Amino acid sequence: MSFNIAIDGPSGVGKSTIAKQLAADLGFVYIDTGAMFRGLAVFFLDRGLDIDDEKAICDAVNDAEVTIKYEDGLQHVYVNGTDVTSRLRTEDVSRAASVTSQYQPVRTKLLELQREMARTQDVIMDGRDIGTVVLPQAQLKVFMTARPEIQAQRRYDQLKEQGKLGDATFESILNDIKERDYRDSHRANAPLKKADDAVEVDTSELDIPAVMNRMKELVRERKNA
Ligand code: DC
């Protein structure tokens, strides 16, 4: 049976950084489910659709086929055969993914793909509903959090380093993050929430090696259980 690790939590708390490193250490496959929702968001935006028009989005999702490939160990997202990976990390796409992932047909489109990937291989999957909906049987579930100011500072530093800050300020980033996390946590379908059996890890005061140590300790515990 495959060993599945689910990491859920709001944006900018360190999920993907930790999941990637841990997957490399353990020889597991890292699956970034946010990138799948972002891939669909690119598809909706390219069609010129209004992301608040639920019916238009739910009709259009039937025309989108999402596939995942690993190239040089990195996850690439394809929509209808086109690699959209380089377009996933803009603020427009972040917002569109948060809005359109509220709609159930969008979630249903990706659910089977996510489950299938975890069925046959050891995976670390991160997202919002992995421990609660996608992989409720995961052997280890972690709910990662951080104070919003810490989330915003990390995002600010990342954008600055990449030279992509543009007009954004610390305050605008903080507001965007709060708005997105509120929407992700309060939607009707598969909202972001801690699974009853998830372990909470607050990364506000922890650096990456400290979070990694905690994660490895949890994996050891579960593997020996
Ligand atoms: O993890 P991320 O920031 O790349 O996710 C982008 C958006 O996708 C997020 O705002 C909500 C949505 N999402 C989701 O609804 N369920 C998931 N499992 C992962 C992401």
Tell me the pLDDT of the chain (225 aa) as tens digits. 899 999 999 998 999 999 999 999 999 999 999 999 999 999 999 999 999 999 999 999 999 999 999 998 899 999 999 999 999 998 899 999 999 999 999 999 999 999 999 999 999 999 999 999 999 999 999 999 999 999 999 999 989 998 989 999 999 999 999 999 999 999 999 999 999 999 999 999 999 999 999 999 999 999 988
Report whether residue 100 contacts ligand 1, using a CB cutoff of 6 Å: no
Q: What single letter denotes the amino acid at residue 194?
A: K
Which residue lies with its CA nearest to atom 16 of ligand 1? 128
Expressed in angstroms and rounded, the spacing between residue 55 Cα and the centre of ligand 1 is 20
Determine the pLDDT at residue 103.
98
Report whether residue 143 contacts ligand 1, using a CB cutoff of 6 Å: no
Determine the pLDDT at residue 73.
87
Nearest 5°: CA angle at 76, between 99 and 165?
Answer: 60
Cα 164 to chain centroid distance, Å, stands at: 21
Determine the pLDDT at residue 190.
97
What's the rounded Cα separation, in Å, for the pair 148 and 171?
11
Expressed in angstroms and rounded, the spacing between residue 130 Cα and the centre of ligand 1 is 11
Which ligand 1 atom minimizes the distance to the CA of 98? 10
Expressed in angstroms and rounded, the spacing between residue 127 Cα and the centre of ligand 1 is 6
E runs forming strands in the chain: 4-8, 29-32, 66-71, 74-79, 82-83, 123-127, 140-145, 199-202
What's the rounded Cα separation, in Å, for the pair 1 and 116?
13
Nearest 5°: CA angle at 192, between 4 and 179?
Answer: 140
Determine the pLDDT at residue 61.
98
Give which of 124, 107, 132 is closest to 194, Cα–Cα: 132
- DSSP secondary structure, 87-143, as one string: GTTSHHHHHHHHHHTTSHHHHHHHHHHHHHHHHSS-EEEEESSIIIII-TT-SEEEE
Give which of 194, 132, 140, 195 is closest to 3, Cα–Cα: 140
Report whether residue 114 contacts ligand 1, using a CB cutoff of 6 Å: no
Expressed in angstroms and rounded, the spacing between residue 17 Cα and the centre of ligand 1 is 15
